[in-house]
Structure 1
């Protein structure tokens, strides 16, 4: 009887080890893989109202602009060009 109990215990141990080896390893995501994209400060073109990132905007006498043509046009219309 005790040999039967020993065989059952050994079978359980071996089956548990086999399951652990058969399971694929857990892949942990990299910390940067799930991070949110950086938040950009947005501004509006004073001439056309287009929203664009602050680092792409052109400053002018009347505010921020999406391009040199809109900056020049706004400054001519509002007499702020020096």
Structure 2
């Protein structure tokens, strides 16, 4: 009778842990969805041709540049 009680309580404890993990594990996943990736417009540097996010690029006379140094150097032939 004592062994049966022990096995019964072990089964109850494992069932409670399984239910706890299942309920709260799913709740956590639903509560915190991954942030949506908004598409960022990309522009091409007029000097080196590398693409960079528009919010980080510098513009001068209708041309975009990836850095201040490339802005100062100006357009490079063949980069377009």
Fold-level similarity (TM above 0.5): yes
Give the CA RMSD over aligned residues. 3.1
* Structure with higher RCO (Cα < 8 A, 6+ apart): 2
Larger radius of gyration: 1
Residues 62 and 34 (structure 1), Cα distance of their counterparts in 2 relative to 1, 3 Å cut: closer
- Under a length normalisation based on structure 1, what TM-score does the superposition of the two structures give? 0.54
**Which residue of structure 2 lines up, in the alignment, with residue 47 of structure 1?**
47
**Which residue of structure 2 lines up, in the alignment, with residue 23 of structure 1?**
18
Q: Which runs of 5+ in 1 are unaligned?
A: 1-13
- What is the aligned length? 63
Whether contact under 8 Å (1:58, 1:64) holds in the other structure is yes
